[in-house]
Amino acid sequence: MQEQSCRSDSERYVKVFAFHDRRTAELKILWRNLLRLPLGMCSHTRTNSLPS
C-alpha cells in the first residue's frame, strides 16, 4: 500500500513548509499547489494536514 508512504511524505512537507509559512502567506498557496500533485491519491491526508 502506498498510503503509508504518502502519509509520511505529507507530514514531512507539512513540517518543513509550515515553518516557512509562518512569515510567508504566499508560500502557503504555493506549497498547497505543490502538495496537490503528489498527494492527489491521498487527498484525505492532505486535507487533515493543512493548517487552517
Query: What's the pLDDT score for residue 6?
Result: 63
Domain locations in the chain?
3-49
Separation CA 20–CA 39 (nearest Å): 20
Separation CA 27–CA 45 (nearest Å): 20
Query: What's the pLDDT score for residue 39?
Result: 52
pLDDT string in tens for the chain (52-residue length): 455 666 677 777 777 766 655 667 777 777 777 777 655 555 555 455 555 4
